[in-house]
Amino acid sequence: MTTTPSAPDKAQFAGEVSERGEWKRQANHFTGRISRDSTSAPGEGPDNQGRWPVEVGRYRLVVCLACPWAHRSLIVRGLLGLQDAISLAVVDPVREEPGWRFWLDEGHRDPVLGIEHLSEAYLATDPTFEGRVTVPCIVDTLTGHVVTNDYPQITLDLSTEWVEHHRPGAPDLWPEDLRAEMQPLIDEIYADVNNGVYRCGFATEQEAYEEAYDRLFARLDVLEERLGSSRFLMGDEPREVDVRLFTTLVRFDAAYHGHFKTNRSKLTEMPNLWRYARELYALPGWGSTVDFDHIKRHYYVTHPAINPTGVVPKGPDLSVWPAVAPALGD
């Protein structure tokens, strides 16, 4: 049995809390896909299978630089060279009612979509929507409707459906011959690490917190051992699974260690994971997408049930990260 938090808590936590205090993530509501196999003509909406046509310049990726789920899509879009194919909107890191807001833009409105809050696009697409508005999402600029907020599928589709628009020399982040081996690793990392830090932070009972904590560090120990004999998780080249782990690791000491009480070890105290994270951070298109100011302000200001004072910590010392390599386009 689960109970739905009150409106302020639901807005903060995007999920449900069970009677034993275990937090469960909200399901993705919009699951359309932009596909090369869409039967829709350019300029039309989705076909009868919910697939939208690949169309350069039509879609807008909405992200928050603080959000690890959105960060994945930002990295992949840049690595593949899709900046000119899919435009980018960045919301303010501090989320308040009614949700993500475009307050970084002139006039507090997205210059392409013409809206102040992302919730406007959600409700234009589904007037009955009552869940929490999430990023990343892709919005169709022709209709103003949300195509998808299905964050695990977004990055895979950028790799497989937009191939004709990838930059020369773009990496193969989702190679077909590695998918059978990579998918179970992705699933384990999601359950215990990506989502595990949230299960620690949003747990409302001691037992639920400790269970999530133990699973998190057991998985990190497995990954620490794996990276003792491998440069990246799948060998000598970064893949999709590395994107997914990196976005959690880069937030670990700045947010999760203190704010979410994942405090057995800092990332800097796990030698192989720390080496791995720093190496990815130094690669073009990785560290240049990290904004520690947005990360810290979002976590410490947006969750008053966890940090009621809203005080943002001054640390940790970010000079331990290497110099940022150049971005891959804008």
Q: Which residues are catalytic?
A: 67, 198
Measure Cα distances from 109 to 106, 124, 144 in Å. Answer: 7, 16, 14
How far, in Å, CA of 81 to CA of 139, rounded? Answer: 19
DSSP 318: G
Look at phi and psi of residue 282 and say left if phi exceeds 0, alpha if psi is from -120 to 50, else beta. Answer: alpha
DSSP 267: G
Pure H helices in the chain: 7-13, 68-79, 119-125, 151-160, 179-189, 196-201, 206-226, 240-251, 257-259, 271-281, 292-302
Q: The sheet that has 15-18: what strands, in order across it?
A: 2-3, 15-18, 23-25
Structure tokens at 33: 């896909």
Residue 279's identity, in one-letter code, is E
Measure Cα distances from 67 to 6, 62, 92, 288 in Å. Answer: 23, 11, 11, 15
